[in-house]
Chains A and B, each alone.
Chain A
Amino acid sequence: MADYTDPQFWPQLKHLAATIDGLDYFQILNVAQTSPGPQIKASYYQLARALHPDKFFHLDDEGLKDAINKIYKRVTESYMTLKDEPKRQKYLRDITGPDRLRKLRFTEESEAEQKEQQKTAAKVAKTPKGEQMYNTAMVDLQNGRFDAAYKALQSATLFEPANADLKRLLAEVDKKRKGG
């Protein structure tokens, strides 16, 4: 990688800092969406060597140092999300869905959604068929397809008529698809 402490790169770096909010974590870490864990780590280390604030500490240009700080914090943030498998999967769904622009940073909302999902995923469907329908419903939900999710959950309840959790979820999704 190039030596970014060389002033010829500074306009580029300042521009990156100004536009970084428009990039997703895969782009920031310079990895493909399908990259395996070790590759993500290797890329992170490479970027750390190139952009760590310590490397720029001795320079006088405060504007540059602010830009580096902003970029590097986002590199760290990208790594923290992509190195955690459930977070990474959720993130990938978020940025390939209709809400992409809002979900470029995996913050409060996405974390809350993920925790909710984990909670419900642990306990809901008890039979193989029920689980299949449930999983389909989850994917639909994540993509905002409430009607389809409702139908899938309805099928799930047919396989597990006594499952109160599924019924509750069905009612919630019903509310959602009716605009609640």
Chain B
Amino acid sequence: MAKQLAMGIDLGTSNSCVAIVEDGVPKVIANEWGERTNASVVSFLDDGGVLVGNDAKKHIITNPRNTIASAKRLIGRYSFSEEVKKAQSIASYEIVDGPNNAVRVRVKGRDFAVPEISAMVLKEMRAIVEAHVGHPVTQAVITVPAFFNDNQRQETKNAGRIAGLEVLRIINEPTAAALAYGFGQNINQKVVIYDLGGGTFDVSILQIGEDVFEVLATSGDTYLGGDDFDDRVAAWMMEAFTAEHKIDLRKDRHALAKLKEAAERAKIDLAENDKTRIHIPLLYTDKQGFSHDLDMTLSRAEFNKMVMDLVQRTFKVCDEALQQARMTPAEVDGVILVGGPTRLPIIRNSVRHYFQREPNIDVDPDLVVALGAAIQADALLDASTTTYLLDVTPQTLRLGTVGDFTEAVIERNTSIPIDRTRTFVTARDNQDKVKIRVYQGESRKASECQMLGEFEFGGLRQAARGEVKVEVTFEIDTDGIVNVSARDVETGQKASTALTLSGGLSDEDIAAAQARTAQAEVRQR
């Protein structure tokens, strides 16, 4: 009987990639045009159809308001967060507030939850695999940045469900990369994965013991990536243009989109060349009908200067990870670069300098994560699993105590799956419920952490205060997702659990979104 097939999906900020294991070999599947990476872009056309992928990307300039890129920068975040505010200020499309402080994307008068947008990209990845194998494939392993918190992981899983997928596992991108790197190689090494993607940065330190991949520590920045490098170049271009022509381009979505596209191309060009010419014809046409071109040259040295602070941020994260792992750069056996932006000479050189060794460039930085996800997908469905991922939770799980204070329940870099219990005692006679607030973060102040939600445990036995002890179990599962449950210590009876203030999608929301997504008319160019 043919074994079931599951796919591995790298759902990236800028680009997504899908792979399967075929005849025992992990392989990235190309789309019908032979392209192995697909832009994580969704464009809503005027006739009601939807374009997803590399073609949709072309619409960023012609149809900026209705073309959604970099949704991953918004997923699982609260609308009041700094990152959403930042994204709002430079996005070409409308980002609005949703219920419970969730984020919505407004297109043609309709509000979409962020996972709905990501679901369209996932659906496209699924279509690519199904076209290749000739039958339906519904099971997938989807990757996320290692530093993603619980909300972000949960919403990514929801995106999978909305796309009609059975999400077997959510795994961390650096871990997936390490798996692809070490799979079948019988390595015994301590490796660092330096993963700089379009919108996120992770550093994971792993000990690979042949078939065991143990994460020693991980750290990251979920709002730092190639996109930010582009933004620096775009800002530089805009400043020069404004100085020369006295025109403020900030309100012109089309101009901004053109600047961003040109900036990205310049960045990529500078990976190969010392200098690049940036030419945007008709960047801006004024009311009198005069058009202004943009024509500038950017040298690699100037580019390096304008992005230096971003590069330095990555090494602060490396410091953090090494400290958590109680290691020095000298104890590292190998450094693996993941993500397109690591092709930039400034990154390669800085990594070489920091770790005092040549980074490993045998792995393809664009494809390695999807390959690792496919290997894991195959291992889960296979009776003869031969690789073991021992991952960790990246951020400390905390409990709100009094006022703005929290206490740690499960420390960051604790191996998962794991659980911890805390016992609470009723403070009032006949108290029928206990409420707790759960956070993730490294600060003792709740206001400096991410709130995961408020849990209410109800149906408690009626008794005098102090007589009912409620044992709350905090579990972090193999997806890195937090599950909370409670029981009466005396009777052993489970308390009912309700989650509020979470901002994520409910099961009803997901079902409705799934129906809408299934109906969406996705164009093939």
Contact = CB atoms under 8 A, between A and B. Distances in A.
A58 B419 CA distance: 23
A148 interface: no
Interface in A3-47: 5, 45
Contact of B388 (A49, A80, A107): A49
Contacts of B380: 54, 57-58
B211 A76 contact: no
Interface residues of A, number: 19
A120 B264 CA distance: 56
A57 B420 CA distance: 23
Nearest to A52: B388
Nearest to A111: B408
B311 interface: no
Interface stretch (B247-255, B409-417, B514-522): B409-417
A55 to B, nearest CB: 5
Interface string A68-86: 0100110011011000000
B273 interface: no
Contact of A55 (B212, B376, B385): B385
Contact of B379 (A54, A77, A108): A54
A45 B214 CA distance: 9
Contacts of A57: 168, 380-381, 385
Contacts of B420: 107-108
Given A54-B380, A54-B389, A58-B382, A80 B212 contact: no
B383 A58 contact: yes
Contacts of B381: 57-58
A73 B475 contact: yes
B418 interface: yes
B99 interface: no
B88 interface: no
A144 interface: no
B388 A5 contact: no
B209 interface: yes
B379 A76 contact: no
B421 interface: yes
Contacts of B376: 54
B96 interface: no
B107 interface: no
Contacts of A79: 415
Contacts of A72: 417
Contact of A54 (B414, B415, B421, B478): B478
B226 to A, nearest CB: 32
A69 B211 contact: no
B209 A45 contact: yes
Given A54-B389, A57-B380, A58-B382, A49 B211 contact: yes
Interface string B361-402: 000000000000000100111110100111000000000000
Nearest to B414: A80
A79 B383 CA distance: 26
Nearest to B411: A80
Nearest to A109: B423
Given A48-B212, A49-B212, A76 B416 contact: yes
B385 A48 contact: no
A72 to B, nearest CB: 7
B428 interface: no
Nearest to A59: B383
A57 B168 CA distance: 9
B388 A54 contact: yes
B316 interface: no
A76 B421 contact: no
B422 interface: yes
Contact of A73 (B209, B211, B390, B417): B417
A69 to B, nearest CB: 7
Contacts of A76: 415-418
Nearest to A55: B385
Contact of A108 (B385, B418, B422): B422
Of the listed residues B212, B379, B415, B416, the one surrounded by the most CB atoms of chain A closer than 10 A to its CB is B415
A69 B422 CA distance: 20
A76 B422 CA distance: 18
Interface in A72-103: 72-73, 76-77, 79-80
A80 B418 CA distance: 10
Given A54-B379, A73-B475, A107 B385 contact: no
A178 B358 CA distance: 65
A107 B212 CA distance: 27
Contacts of B389: 54
B421 A73 contact: no
B111 to A, nearest CB: 37
A48 B120 CA distance: 37
Interface in B417-467: 417-422
Contacts of A58: 380-383
A45 B376 CA distance: 18
A16 to B, nearest CB: 17
A108 B420 CA distance: 9
Nearest to A50: B388
Interface in B161-218: 168, 209, 211-212, 214
Contacts of B422: 108
Nearest to B381: A58
The 5 A-B residue pairs whose C-beta atoms are closest, nearest first, are A57-B380, A76-B415, A55-B385, A76-B418, A52-B388
20 contacts: A45-B209, A45-B212, A49-B211, A49-B212, A52-B385, A53-B417, A54-B379, A54-B478, A55-B388, A57-B380, A57-B381, A58-B382, A72-B417, A73-B419, A76-B416, A76-B417, A77-B419, A80-B415, A107-B420, A108-B421
Interface of A: 5, 45, 48-49, 52-55, 57-58, 69, 72-73, 76-77, 79-80, 107-108
Given A54-B379, A57-B380, A72-B417, 14 more contacts: A45-B209, A48-B388, A49-B212, A52-B388, A53-B478, A54-B385, A55-B388, A57-B168, A57-B385, A58-B380, A73-B417, A76-B418, A80-B414, A108-B421
